[in-house]
Amino acid sequence: MSSTTSSMKVMSFNIRFGTADDGPNSWEFRRDAVMEMLGASGAVVIGMQEVLASQLDEIRQVLPRYDFVGVGREDGVADGEFCAILFDKQQIQVEASDTYWFSDTPEVVGSSSWGNSNTRVCTHGVFAFEGRHFNFFNLHIDHESAISRFKSIQLLTSRITDVDELPCIITGDFNDDEDSIPIKMMAEAGFEDTFRTINPDVPEQATYHGWTDMLDGSKIDYIFVSHGLRVKDASINREKPFGTFVSDHYPVTATLAFSPTDV
């Protein structure tokens, strides 16, 4: 195995579900901007939150190099929002995947236990890039229940511990800012916030903007990494292709490389 590897760009993107009535920001008006952003991004793996089956179908039609793993959170097939993991099938190979529910019964489809009104899920995949294997977790945790967010991170970190012989990438809408208990739990568990690795001293910057050009505010979208991965770059993408917002969240990106000793 060579001790060098090419860079791998990843993204976390809350796309905003396609049936939302957002007036001039509804899916039909921003679809082309989303496709332009994704196509130009260079991301080979994308953790996407809120995405519906119909949006995934459109993405694959316009950008056929992408495939995905994941299921709809309501029925474990195609109903409801996905925490899909998109991957460039020309560069990334998928070895295995599964989805679990943030609840006391994570294997039970549609289950919810912790006070969250919406069903919440995490999709996990094992992937390979240039012969190097890694875990990828993509999640969307609750926006209303602090208990649910706390317990969701407990479940997430326990699941990662079970598979952490491989490097791990964790993307998601955590619905909590950098000073919150769940985000501190991620740091205490040894996970590195890629944005802060590259931008340690900048003030907290908004990733949810609510269809505005807001820059200041809570950073609630993250890309975390574990051992075996070096962060070469990380940013919040505020581009507006064709002058159009791609979502009510800004995508976040990170460029990663495998450490030489990890296989």
User: Is the residue at 40 inside a domain?
Assistant: yes
Find the mean pLDDT for residues 35-63. 98
Give the span between the Cα atoms of 143 and 13, in whole angstroms: 16
Flag whether 2 is in a domain.
no
Check the CA dihedral 155-196-39-16 and report its sign.
positive
Residue-number span of the structural domain to which 160 is assigned: 8-258
Instruction: Kindly state the DSSP code that residue 68 receives in the 8-state scheme.
Output: E
Is position 263 within any domain?
A: no
The contacts of residue 259 (CB under 8 Å, 6+ apart) are 167, 227, 228, 229, 230
Provide the CATH number for the domain around residue 32.
3.60.10.10
Q: Please say if the pLDDT value at position 174 is more than 90.
A: yes
Residue 56 lies in a domain: yes
How far apart (Å, rounded) are the C-alpha atoms in residues 21 and 200? 37
Q: Above pLDDT 90, what percent of the chain?
A: 92
32 in a structural domain:
yes
Residue 208 lies inside a defined structural domain of this protein:
yes
Number of domains present in the structure of the chain: 1
Residue 1 lies in a domain: no
E strand or H helix at 257: strand 252-258
At 49, which amino acid appears?
Q
Mean pLDDT for the stretch of residues 117-139: 96
Name the band, by pLDDT with cuts 50, 70 and 90, for residue 5.
Answer: low
Determine the Cα–Cα distance for residues 74 and 84; give it in Å rounded to an integer.
Answer: 14
The pLDDT of residue 1 is above 60:
no
The pLDDT of residue 4 is 53
Q: Tell me, yes or no, whether 39 lies in a domain.
A: yes
